[in-house]
Amino acid sequence: MVNVAGRKAKPVNLHLLEGNKSHLTKEEIEKRQKAEESLTLKSDNIKPPTWLDSEGKKTFRKLIKEFEEIDLLVNVDVYMIAMFCDAYSDYIECTKIIQDEGKLIEHTNKAGETNRIPHPLLTKKSHAFNQMKAMASEFGLTPSARTKLIQNMQVEGDNEDNSFSGRV
C-alpha cells in the first residue's frame, strides 16, 4: 500500500526558518501568514478539568501560572496539560505507596510458595514517567526542549531583521 498523503504542511514561519526551500514569493508568504492568523485559537478558558484529582489540579495551576508569562497556551492545550498532570499525580501516588510497602513485596503463587517480587506499581510508575517525559518535551518542560524553542526563536528573530526583496 502506497502512502499518498504527502508531507505534513508546515507553518510559514517554520518554512522560512528552514530557508524557504520552495522559494515562496513575498506575496505567497503574506497570503499564508494571513491564512494562519485567521486560525488563531482562543486562550480564555484555561482551567483544570474536573476529572483531575487534587494533586493534578494543583500541578495544573502551577504550570498554567508559569505558561502565562510567555503566552503560549490556548484552550485546546488544556487536555494535554491535564494528561501530563494526571500522569504526574499517578507517579507521585505510586512513589508514596512503593516507599511505604517497599520495592519488593511478598507474593504467594498457586503452589502456595511465597516469593519476593518487584512491586507491581514500579511498572505503572515507569509508564507514568514515560507519559510525562513525552508531553514535557511538547511543552518545553525540559531544559533541552526549552533550548530548542530558544534556538527557533533566535533564528526567527534573525529572519525578521532581513527584509524581503522579491523572492526569499
Write the pLDDT tens digit of every residue in 10-62: 667 666 766 777 788 888 888 887 877 777 777 778 899 999 999 999 999 99
Could you state, in order of their start, the residue ranges of all structural domains in the chain?
A: 10-40, 44-161
Residue environment code for 143-155, b if the CB has 16+ CB neighbours within 10 A, otherwise e: eeeeeeeeeeeee
Output the pTM of the full model: 0.66
Cell output for 80: 494535554
- pLDDT greater than 70 at residue 164: no
* pLDDT score of 168: 42
CA angle 106, 112, 117 (to 5 degrees): 25
Condensed to tens digits (0 to 9), the pLDDT of residues 48-107 reads 999 999 999 999 999 999 888 777 778 888 899 999 999 999 999 999 999 999 999 999
